[in-house]
Amino acid sequence: MRHFRFASVVRKYFRPYFLVRDAGGAYVKGKWVPSPPELEQRSGSIQPVSAKLRATEGGNYTETDRMLYTTASHSAGERIEYLDVQYNVAESPDREYSDVNQYLLRKVVANAPV
């Protein structure tokens, strides 16, 4: 299979974002006190999901969803922070042919039903 190298082309559009990692916590006087999350800086291009894609997928995507293009690797369920908004990595399609990875990000909503 042919391997395409797009990283040098899209790198000029990369901006910093943060990978949010749970730092755990500790028991203080018998109560669990969570530690503040650790932020690991990465770079990539975060773009809105196109209206055409939202329409063709039957409303599966919303206006708050984003696409992340990066050379870094992520797995589903990781949390990303960009411009003070947090997103969950929802999909990570296999892209064996390219050096740029594409991920679907869904906005974290505080009062969303579980």
For 63-90, how does the pLDDT look when each residue is reduced to its tens digit (9 = 90+)? 888 999 998 889 889 999 999 999 999 8
> Which of 2.60.260.40, 3.30.930.10, 1.10.10.10, 2.40.10.270 is the CATH number of 7-22+36-107?
2.40.10.270
Q: How far apart are CA 56 and CA 87, in angstroms?
A: 23
For position 3, what pLDDT does the model report? 56
For position 109, what pLDDT does the model report? 82
pTM for the model stands at 0.77
For position 8, what pLDDT does the model report? 65
Q: Helical H runs in the chain?
A: 7-10, 51-56
For position 59, what pLDDT does the model report? 61
pLDDT below 70 — which residues of the chain?
1-8, 52-59, 94-95, 111-114
Residue pair 72/80 in contact (Cβ under 8 Å)? The answer is: no
Q: How far apart are CA 7 and CA 98, in angstroms?
A: 9
Of 113, 29, 107, nearest to 68 (Cα)? 107
Strands 38-48 and 66-70: antiparallel
Strands 66-70 and 31-34: unpaired
For position 24, what pLDDT does the model report? 86
For position 98, what pLDDT does the model report? 73
What does the domain layout of the chain look like in residue ranges?
A: 7-22+36-107
CA torsion 68→69→73→75, rounded to 10°?
30
For position 12, what pLDDT does the model report? 83
CA atoms within 13 A on the CB side of 54: 11
